[in-house]
Amino acid sequence: MPEKPIKLLLVDDEEDSRRSSAKWMARKGHDVVDVSNAAEALSLLERESFDVGVFDMNMPGMSGLELLQRVHEDNIDIEVIMLTGQGTVETAVSAMKMGACDFLSKPCALGDLEHHCFRARERHELKKENKQLKAVISRTRPAAKLIGESSSLRSVAKLIEKVAPTHKPVLIQGESGTGKEVVAQAIQQASRVADAPFVTVNCAALPENLVESELFGHQKGSFTGATAEKPGLFEIADGGTLFIDEIGELPLSLQPKLLRVLEDGSLRRVGCHRQRKVKVRIIAATNRDLQTEVDNGNFREDLFYRINVLSIELPPLRQREGDVNRLIDHFLPRSFHIDDTARSTLNAYPWPGNIRQLINVIERATILADEFEITLDDLPAEIVDYGHGPGNTREDAIGTVHPIAAVAVESAHPHDMLGSCNYKLDEVARVHVLEVLEKEKGNKAGAARKLGIHRRKLYRLLDRFNGEVDADASEPEAIV
């Protein structure tokens, strides 16, 4: 396979040797820019990225060594080969100490120049890969397998196969917990860049003022708190895939910047003039209707068309016939058994929180079950009672609030309780926990996170509160 061209910057005041080296390297297919002094080189490095720089050591004005020092101080991402007319061991050593990766004596054979540039580029790529891997390891979880055989999920699997080999953006739409991230990972794994980084970012989880620096990186000192330079997630994902979750939450002010990367792969870190180029496949996800966001002026139309080249609509779990059983069998540990009544109860429920909610319910049941046998007693009340209460419909369940939360919210508001001496600590805790759970629409993982406690502790608290509510609720119908 032919070697990828090297993006090379030649800096030498000797016109003849510089021009002939530049011509030779360009004829070999490399992308070469040549300049005659360090000042020009620095202003170029501000705007463009290069793989390798070949700097002449002795130039009038700023010397090659001083240029190397500036490259180092400004953290410019480039491998430098020093070039000198009077190569001595001492100058070579001082250049290497300052961060040059190689040293060439003038006049150097043009074949040698190319060979050394290839070596430097390899080192450049390895360093970049290393940086990416470090960042990616801390950001990605192992990909989950897409479980389910329903016809609606099979159609999604077919679409994944079709869109994966292209490098085009993909937009995945679906309710929360339907597996949008799992689908994004499946696309990446079936793509040509399966071994390259898969980096995820959730726009809703980041404070608005940090989204730009997280996505595009920042220069040291570009804002309070920017104590070191930082590459953005686009740079970390370079060559691979960036999964942008909750793209509907991307601030309007940043949307043109994202559009630019989608159009020509160029970006600038916050506080930096230098333009960088990246090649990243974007997969975006949203549980909002983006077209409506466009109509309401919250999302740019041009960006919507750019990311919506290929779109996948992920059906909610209630529209995946037979998949609840398959997911139960997949997620229930082998040592457990679920009885028929509990199984059919889970099948009848409409799962407003989709697969995430089902996984939580299964986890909870395995904690509560006696003798590894899961029965109705181990399922949450809202699931057991679903369909049994008067006027209980799928639609009610989809907008459901945890039943005991309803009781709590009717009783007192935590703000009213704070500072009052009329309540016991347990009562305040109960009202607060249930209010948070209500705000999280019954999502216990989310509620536990907000409360800063482990999910198991939340389950234990809910069971305790449930007992208390059962015992003291004067109107039993309130508890469903």
Ligand X SMILES: Nc1ncnc2c1ncn2[C@@H]1O[C@H](COP(=O)(O)OP(=O)(O)OP(=O)(O)O)[C@@H](O)[C@H]1O
Can you give the binding site for ligand X, defined by CB under 6 A? 144, 146-148, 174, 176-182, 245, 285, 287, 355-356, 359
Least distance (Å) between residue 294 CB and ligand X: 19
Least distance (Å) between residue 175 CB and ligand X: 7
CA dihedral 91, 97, 102, 103 (to 10 degrees): 0
Structure tokens at 422: 């009329």
* C-alpha to C-alpha distance for 276 and 300, rounded to whole angstroms: 24
CB nearest ligand X: which residue? Answer: 179
Nearer to ligand X, 328 or 431 (CB): 328
How large is the greatest C-alpha to C-alpha distance in the chain, in angstroms? 96
Q: Give 282's strand partners.
A: 242
Residue tagged 């793509």 (tokens): 191
Least distance (Å) between residue 304 CB and ligand X: 18
Nearer to ligand X, 176 or 392 (CB): 176
Least distance (Å) between residue 190 CB and ligand X: 15
Nearer to ligand X, 180 or 257 (CB): 180
Least distance (Å) between residue 279 CB and ligand X: 25
132 closest CA partner among 6, 274, 270, 233: 233
DSSP letters, 330-346, are: HHS-TT-EE-HHHHHHH
Name the DSSP letter for residue 229: -
Least distance (Å) between residue 48 CB and ligand X: 37
**Structural contact between residues 129 and 41, judged by C-beta atoms closer than 8 angstroms:** no
Least distance (Å) between residue 180 CB and ligand X: 4
Least distance (Å) between residue 170 CB and ligand X: 13
Least distance (Å) between residue 328 CB and ligand X: 11
**Cα 436 to the center of its chain, rounded Å:** 26
Nearer to ligand X, 147 or 226 (CB): 147
Nearer to ligand X, 147 or 479 (CB): 147
* C-alpha to C-alpha distance for 336 and 420, rounded to whole angstroms: 47
Nearer to ligand X, 142 or 390 (CB): 142
Nearer to ligand X, 51 or 245 (CB): 245
* C-alpha to C-alpha distance for 273 and 252, rounded to whole angstroms: 22
Half-sphere exposure of 122 (CA within 13 A, CB side): 8
Residue tagged 């917990």 (tokens): 177
Nearer to ligand X, 242 or 270 (CB): 242
Nearer to ligand X, 182 or 310 (CB): 182
Nearer to ligand X, 147 or 406 (CB): 147
Residue 111: how many other CB atoms lie within 10 Å: 10
* C-alpha to C-alpha distance for 60 and 280, rounded to whole angstroms: 41
Least distance (Å) between residue 141 CB and ligand X: 8
Helix (H, G, I), strand (E, B) or coil at 40: helix
| Pairing between β-strand 217-218 and β-strand 310-313 as defined by DSSP bridges | unpaired
Least distance (Å) between residue 252 CB and ligand X: 21
Residue tagged 């001595």 (tokens): 88
**Structural contact between residues 243 and 285, judged by C-beta atoms closer than 8 angstroms:** yes
Nearer to ligand X, 19 or 330 (CB): 330
**Cα 206 to the center of its chain, rounded Å:** 11
Helices 444-451 and 425-439, packing angle to 10 deg: 130
Residue tagged 């399922």 (tokens): 379
